[in-house]
């Protein structure tokens, strides 16, 4: 669950807000992490990652547009396996965030907002993403 206003917690500092008799579950392997939860956290991770990745994209764009020599320099970069890997990972992040984002928007319209719908959406998101990653990989290599 998102907690938009964490300040709300500040009043709880130093106070015991839970009963000591509550059950404690330390067996982390028993904590369920259903598919929709995984697609959701990946959407968040991809969002943060591409936020920093934009720097790489702007750099490459600026260089490629600056001059013919810059354009060739970028093409030269792309012969480097490490650059290919980084750009591919970045592309995967963008594609995933896009696909999961579109799913998110569809659900915001109230479509598929059931437990079963969420699972279907998650499966479709993962399936489309895997295909997109593969296509991006083939394109880069």
Among ligand HEM, another protein, none, what binds residue 73 when CB lies within 5 to 8 Å by partner kind? Answer: none
Residues near ligand HEM, by CB under 6 A: 43-44, 47-48, 50-51, 54, 97-98, 101-102, 104-105
Provide the 10 A C-beta neighbour count for residue 141.
9
Nearer to another protein, 54 or 134 (CB): 54
- The entry of ligand HEM, another protein, none that residue 9 binds, CB within 5 to 8 Å by partner kind: another protein
Closest to another protein by CB, 49 or 126: 49
Binding site for another protein (CB under 8 A): 2-10, 12-13, 44, 47-48, 51-52, 54-55, 58, 61-62, 64-66, 68, 71-72, 94, 98, 101-102, 105, 108, 139
Q: How far apart are CA 41 and CA 48, in angstroms?
A: 11
Over the Cα atoms of the chain, what is R_g? 21
Provide DSSP, 16-63.
--S-TTS-----GGGS---HHHHHHHHHHHHHHHHHHHHHHHHHHHHH
Residue 35 partner contact from ligand HEM, another protein, none using kind-dependent CB cut-offs of 5 to 8 Å:
none
Q: How far is the CB of 122 from another protein (least distance, A)?
A: 19
Whether 93 contacts 49, CB under 8 Å: yes
Phi, psi torsion values for 4, nearest 5 degrees? -65, -30
Task: Select 63 or 98, whichever has its Cβ closest to ligand HEM.
Answer: 98
């Amino acid at each position: 669950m998102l907690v938009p206003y964490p300040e709300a917690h500040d009043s709880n500092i130093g106070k015991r807000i839970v009963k000591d008799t509550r059950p404690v579950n330390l067996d982390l392997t028993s904590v369920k992490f259903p598919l929709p939860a995984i697609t959701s956290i990946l959407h968040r991770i991809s969002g943060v990652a591409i936020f920093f990745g934009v720097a790489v994209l702007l750099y490459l764009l600026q260089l490629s547009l600056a001059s013919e020599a810059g354009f060739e320099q970028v093409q030269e970069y792309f012969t480097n396996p490490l650059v290919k890997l980084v750009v591919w990972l970045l592309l995967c992040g963008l594609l995933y965030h896009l696909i999961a984002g579109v799913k998110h928007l569809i659900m915001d319209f109230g479509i598929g907002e059931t437990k079963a719908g969420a699972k279907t959406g998650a499966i479709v998101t993962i399936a489309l993403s895997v295909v997109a990653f593969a296509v991006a990989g083939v394109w880069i290599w």
